[in-house]
Structures are given as structure tokens and as C-alpha cells.
């Protein structure tokens, strides 16, 4: 993420009146020098042109007034494209495995911590404050556990970091430690550990373990998360649409306005429609895909997933050779996210329309 450099040639990106993080232009060495000279944390938003959740960060998080105010007042903010210029070596150096990844560095380029993936503004704001204070970072949690290996909260938080990095074996050690320390759940965190262990199970056992957790922990504050993980596992792991649908319907009854439930369900419907678009055998499959998109749109409205829905809709209309509707849909997608994939689809549709003239 970027802010204003001392060097005059480095211009502030933002000049609008609404809240937004100020990201500065310049080289990595220049922004590191600025962070060091001002004794501030450098926040680096590592992105790509095709990363839709990077766009969501811009739209929903960086424009949040509290996030923007804190970031602009307390840290240097910089963006770097992992596939262009010095961003390629930067991504290799810091072992960036997915996007978005937001790194928090000191002025010497040492990593304080990172945010991997998309988090809503409230969560991002809290992590940003912590990392500026050196609180709840990987190093501070490691130090806390070296001092007291039985620190339940530190074990839970460092397990979350390992999960985000895909290091599930390390996460399991800390989660099992919590269960060993607090089998009666006096801390209120033992059930959190059990849920997280179930959710990172292998593909052969994840559904069984999630169902066991739900059955044995009916009062847990992790129950909603467990039901979401179960519904997603039925579809993405087992490819069992009927059971995924049953679990999503139950979720929508119990949590009708929950943003995470709506996000998960909307993505699930999009993915089913995408499968129809890609692997459909004929018009009936393509029409079924369009029905799924119509169901998805209310759940993805206002997010980048809405752009994905309109793109899939456009491709389905193209499969049906209804190029006028395909053009309408891809134009809607491009208004949400101007990306090459969508531009290519528009070009293909326009070629078909021109051929019909």
C-alpha cells in the first residue's frame, strides 16, 4: 500500500474527497527509505491485474474511513504488481503464494507480518493496528509461547497464521495443545480449536469431522462457521450438490442476513453455473446455468463476485448464441471489474455480432 514520499517526483495517487488510503508511487527502495526515515511501518499491497479480491480490497476496505485514516496517519502505503517490474523479484523474495497478500515491513524490509486473502474492513483494521504496534504478529506470538507454552490465546492465534500459510501440520500442533490444556473448555477456546482441526482435515475425513463437531458442540460460537465449511466441503470436496444444497438452505434459514453465509452461497451458485458453462452438453445445461446465475445475483450483488456472475452469464448466452444478451452481460461485468478476461469475452461477442450483420 502506498503513501506520500519525501521525493517531490513521487506523486500522491489519490485526490478525491472520499476516504481512501493514499498509496505512493516510487521504487521499493525509495518507499523503504521513507518508512525508515519516518520510523513507520511500510504496508505493501501485493496484487496482480487479474486478482478480483484485490479490487474488493480497494472498494470495500481501503475506502473505509477508519482504515484509511489510520493507514494515512501511521504508516507508509505502497502497491506492487507481483507480475511486473521489481514486483516479480519482490514476490519471490517474500514467498507470495496468493493474492491479495498485504505485507507489513519495517524500514529495513524485514517482515512484521502479513494479511493473506481478503478480510472485511473491521478485521483488516484490527490487524493493521496490531501489526503497527507489534502485537499479535508471528514473532510476538512465538515469543509469548516461548515464555509460556500453555498460553491458550497465543496458541490459537499462531495456529490461525499457520492455517493461512497452508502449514496445517504446524497449526494442528498448537490446536491440539489447546485441547490438551483445556479439555473442559474453561477458556471458551477449546471448541474453537476443535472446529479449526475439523476444518483443516484431509478430503477423506473433513465432512465426517465437521459433522461430529456440529453434533458434539451445539452451543459453540463456531457453529455457523462449521456449517459453512460443511456445505462448502460437500460441494468442493465431495461434489455432492444435493447435500451441499441442503446445508446451504439450513444456513439461510438460521442466518438469513449473515454476509459470510451470503458470500459462500453466492460463490457456490456461481461455481455451479460456471461448471454448466464449461462442461454443459447442450442448451438445457446452458439454460440451467442461467437459472443458477439468476439465483446467485442477489447474493453477490455489490461485490466483485457480481462481475464473475455477469461474465459467466455472458458466456452461457454465447453458448446459446444469444449474442445481444451476452454483450449486455459482459458490459455489466466490465463496469464492476475491468479485466482482460472480460475484455476478451466482449471482443469475442462483438465479433459474433458483426459476423451476423
Contact 152, 187 (CB under 8 A): yes
- Looking at the predicted structure, is the pLDDT value of residue 357 above 80? no
Distance CA 94, CA 112 (A): 12
Q: Which CATH superfamily is domain 28-133 in?
A: Glutaredoxin (3.40.30.10)
Residue 178 burial (CB < 10 Å; 0-12/13-18/19+)?
buried
**251-261 confidence digits (pLDDT tens):** 999 999 999 99
Rounded Cα distance between 129 and 71, Å, is: 9
Angle (nearest 5°) at CA 4 between 116 and 340: 50
Q: What is the pLDDT of residue 6?
A: 30
- Whether the predicted pLDDT of 205 surpasses 70: yes
In contact, 218 and 226? CB cutoff 8 Å: no
Which secondary structure element, helix H or strand E, spans residue 23, and what is its range? none
Which residue, chain included where needed, has cell 447442450? 282
Does residue 63 contact residue 18 with C-beta atoms inside 8 Å? Answer: yes
The Cα–Cα gap between 287 and 283 comes to 6
Task: Give me the helix-helix angle, 168-181 and 190-199, nearest 10°.
Answer: 150
> How does DSSP classify residue 257?
T
Q: Is residue 2 scored above 70 in pLDDT?
A: no
Confidence at residue 18, expressed as pLDDT on a 0 to 100 scale: 59
DSSP annotation of 237 reads I
Q: Cα–Cα distance between 86 and 133 in angstroms, integer? A: 28
Q: pLDDT digit string (tens) for 310-342? A: 999 999 999 999 999 999 999 999 999 999 999
Q: Where in the chain is the domain with CATH 1.25.40.10?
A: 136-199, 257-357
Average pLDDT of span 203-228: 97
Delimiting residues of CATH 3.40.30.10 domain(s) in the chain? 28-133
pLDDT digits (tens, 9 = 90+) for 274-289: 999 999 999 999 999 9
Per-residue model confidence as pLDDT tens digits over 103-127: 999 999 999 999 999 999 999 999 9
Predicted pLDDT at 16: 37
User: What are the cell numbers at 108?
Assistant: 529495513
CA 177 to chain centroid, in Å, comes to: 28
* Residue 165: per-residue pLDDT: 87
What DSSP character marks residue 100?
S
Pick among 3.40.50.720, 1.10.1040.10, 1.10.620.20, 1.25.40.10: CATH of 136-199? 1.25.40.10
Q: 13-61, pLDDT tens digit by residue?
A: 333 345 799 999 999 999 999 999 999 999 999 999 999 999 999 999 9
Helix intervals (H) in the chain:
28-37, 52-56, 65-74, 87-93, 121-133, 138-147, 152-164, 168-181, 190-199, 206-216, 223-232, 241-254, 259-279, 283-300, 304-319, 323-336, 340-356
Q: What is the CATH number of domain 257-357?
A: 1.25.40.10
Mean pLDDT in residue range 209-225: 96
Condensed to tens digits (0 to 9), the pLDDT of residues 126-150 reads: 999 999 999 999 999 999 999 999 9
Q: What is the mean pLDDT of the chain?
A: 93
Q: CA–CA separation, 58 vs 64, rounded Å? A: 9
Amino acid at each position: 500500500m502506498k503513501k506520500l514520499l519525501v521525493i517531490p517526483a513521487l506523486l500522491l495517487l489519490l485526490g478525491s474527497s472520499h476516504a481512501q488510503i493514499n498509496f505512493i508511487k516510487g521504487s521499493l527502495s525509495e518507499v523503504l527509505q521513507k518508512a525508515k526515515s519516518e520510523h513507520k511501518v511500510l504496508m505493501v499491497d501485493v496484487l496482480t491485474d487479474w486478482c478480483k479480491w484485490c479490487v474488493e480490497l480497494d472498494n470495500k476496505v481501503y475506502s473505509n474511513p477508519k482504515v484509511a485514516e489510520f493507514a494515512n496517519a501511521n504508516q507508509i502505503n505502497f502497491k506492487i504488481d507481483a507480475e511486473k517490474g521489481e514486483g516479480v523479484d519482490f514476490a519471490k523474495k517474500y514467498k507470495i503464494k496468493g493474492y491479495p497478500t498485504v505485507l507489513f515491513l519495517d524500514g529495513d524490509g524485514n517482515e512484521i507480518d502479513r494479511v493473506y486473502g481478503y478480510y472485511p474492513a473491521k478485521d483488516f483494521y484490527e490487524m493493521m493496528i496490531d501489526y503497527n504496534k507489534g502485537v499479535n504478529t508471528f514473532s510476538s506470538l512465538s515469543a509469548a509461547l516461548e515464555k509460556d507454552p500453555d498460553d491458550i490465546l497465543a496458541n490459537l492465534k499462531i495456529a490461525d497464521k499457520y492455517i493461512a500459510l497452508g502449514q496445517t501440520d504446524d497449526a494442528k500442533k498448537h490446536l491440539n495443545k489447546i485441547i490438551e490444556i483445556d479439555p473442559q473448555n474453561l477458556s471458551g477456546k477449546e471448541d474453537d480449536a476443535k472446529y479449526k482441526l475439523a476444518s483443516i482435515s484431509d478430503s477423506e475425513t473433513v465432512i465426517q469431522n465437521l459433522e461430529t463437531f456440529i453434533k458434539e458442540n451445539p452451543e459453540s460460537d463456531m457453529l455457523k462457521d462449521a456449517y459453512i465449511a460443511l456445505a462448502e466441503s460437500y460441494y468442493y470436496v465431495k461434489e455432492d450438490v444435493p447435500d451441499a444444497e441442503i446445508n446451504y438452505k439450513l444456513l439461510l434459514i438460521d442466518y438469513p442476513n449473515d454476509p459470510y453465509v451470503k458470500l459462500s452461497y453466492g460463490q457456490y451458485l456461481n461455481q455451479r453455473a460456471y461448471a454448466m458453462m464449461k462442461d454443459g452438453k447442450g442448451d438445457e445445461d446452458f439454460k440451467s446455468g442461467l437459472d443458477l446465475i439468476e439465483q446467485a445475483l442477489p447474493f453477490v450483488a455489490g461485490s466483485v463476485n457480481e462481475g464473475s456472475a455477469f461474465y459467466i452469464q455472458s458466456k452461457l448466452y454465447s453458448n446459446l448464441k444469444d449474442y445481444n444478451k451476452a454483450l449486455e452481460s459482459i458490459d455489466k461485468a466490465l463496469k464492476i471489474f475491468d479485466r482482460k478476461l472480460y475484455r476478451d469475452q466482449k471482443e469475442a461477442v462483438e465479433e459474433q455480432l458483426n459476423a451476423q450483420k
